Amino acid sequence: MAAVLTWVALLAGCSAGGSGPLGLGGAFGVGSELGRPPAPEDVIHVTPDDDSKGVRPEQRLRVRVPDGRLEKVTVVKSQDAQDSPVPGRIGADGRTWRPDEDRLALAAKYTVDVVALDADGRRSARHTTFTTLVPEERFIGYVTPENRAVVGTGMIVSLSFSREITDRAAVERAVRVSAQPPVEIRPHWFGGSRLDFRPEQYWKPGTEVTVDLNLRDVQGAPGVYGLQDKTFAFTVGRSQVSLVDAARHTMQVRRDGRLLATVPVTAGAPGNPTYNGKMVVMDMLDVTRMNSHTVGFGGEYDIPDVPHAMKLTDSGTYLHGNYWSPDAPGRVNVSHGCVGLRDVKGGSSATPAGWFFDRSLIGDVIEVVGSRERTVAPDNGLGGWNMTWQEWKAGSAVK
């Protein structure tokens, strides 16, 4: 009886955390000696720790067992009210699991379920969760052209960011522009908030272009992360390139290389000449108001109903109908830098301006020669075609 009582007392002391000859509980404690499996957290180690909050995206998600082997690892990411599996693989040694993508998503909850065998072949299961950092500041990219648009062969893919980007290389890597049939497409940065893409030559008619924005959780500036994970696509229509000769007051309209018509025009007057160079139609308006105050000319004009207006630059260059100077097109340059075609008040498809408007697309090219003005800046509108291919490629942040 005394011997039995002594053994019971010894067991009680060990289970209370004593430092007797059997040691503490756990993988090598009393539970193990008596055949009970160790605690799951002693067999299966998960990083980040269970119930962690605000985990930063660069922290690594890892599952491992010091001894034994992993049988199954299931990780689910919950983000924006949607659950998605996190793909990964168990290493060759059977003791480690890593996700295919090392970087964690922001503002997400991760759920980790693991089944493993310990060194003695006993099965353990562990369930953990953690949540990642919710950023206070985000940025998005506004894409030109619009999704599903049909555009002219001179269209340049342009992304305008809502915040100044300081890590341009990271953002550039997260944007992919591809074409079918394939063609080499390169990026060019204009400052820290605009990224454009174009091929070496104008797009071939019929090309399908896809823009993949994988900006979600990409750090564009300290503490500022991207929000979008979205795909845009557009189709290149027929080729139309028009050549404006400001000195001769004419515009040659070519469709797929064939001359459609030669149209009389009026360009910028000697005091306000039209830019030379290649400009791309950015917008088309049946009618718009043009006020000289908006482009730095004071109170020289305010025309509330300009017909058939096609925007060519951000600084205010348009190709539009002109009904107030009916004798100018083909004879004299009278505008403040725009290109004017003969039209009537209210607009008409029967006029040169209406005829050209009805046959144009956003993305068509208007090239001006013979003006006394300088060449349009490549970032004024979609003027990137005025750069050589080498100059364009030098504007990438990824070297």
Annotated domain spans of the chain: 38-132, 137-237, 240-386
Mean pLDDT of the 261-290 span? 96
Superfamily of domain 240-386: L,D-transpeptidase catalytic domain-like (2.40.440.10)
Are 95 and 68 in contact by the 8 Å Cβ rule? The answer is yes
pLDDT at 7 over 60: no
pLDDT at 49 over 50: yes
Residue 24: CB atoms within 10 Å: 13
The predicted structure's pLDDT at residue 24: 40
Known catalytic residue: 320?
yes
pLDDT at 137 over 50: yes
Q: What values do phi and psi take at 144, rounded to 5?
A: -120, 130
Q: Which pTM was predicted? A: 0.81
The predicted structure's pLDDT at residue 399: 84
pLDDT at 13 over 70: no
- Pick among 2.60.40.3710, 1.10.1270.20, 3.40.630.10, 1.20.1260.10: CATH of 137-237: 2.60.40.3710
Decide whether 38-132 matches 137-237 in CATH topology: yes
pLDDT at 100 over 90: yes
Q: What values do phi and psi take at 163, rounded to 5?
A: -135, 155
Fold of 38-132: Immunoglobulin-like (2.60.40)
Are 192 and 200 in contact by the 8 Å Cβ rule? The answer is no
Q: Which of 249, 308, 320, 336 is catalytic?
A: 320
Known catalytic residue: 14?
no
Q: How far apart are CA 14 and CA 75, in angstroms?
A: 37
Q: Which of 249, 308, 336, 338 is catalytic?
A: 338
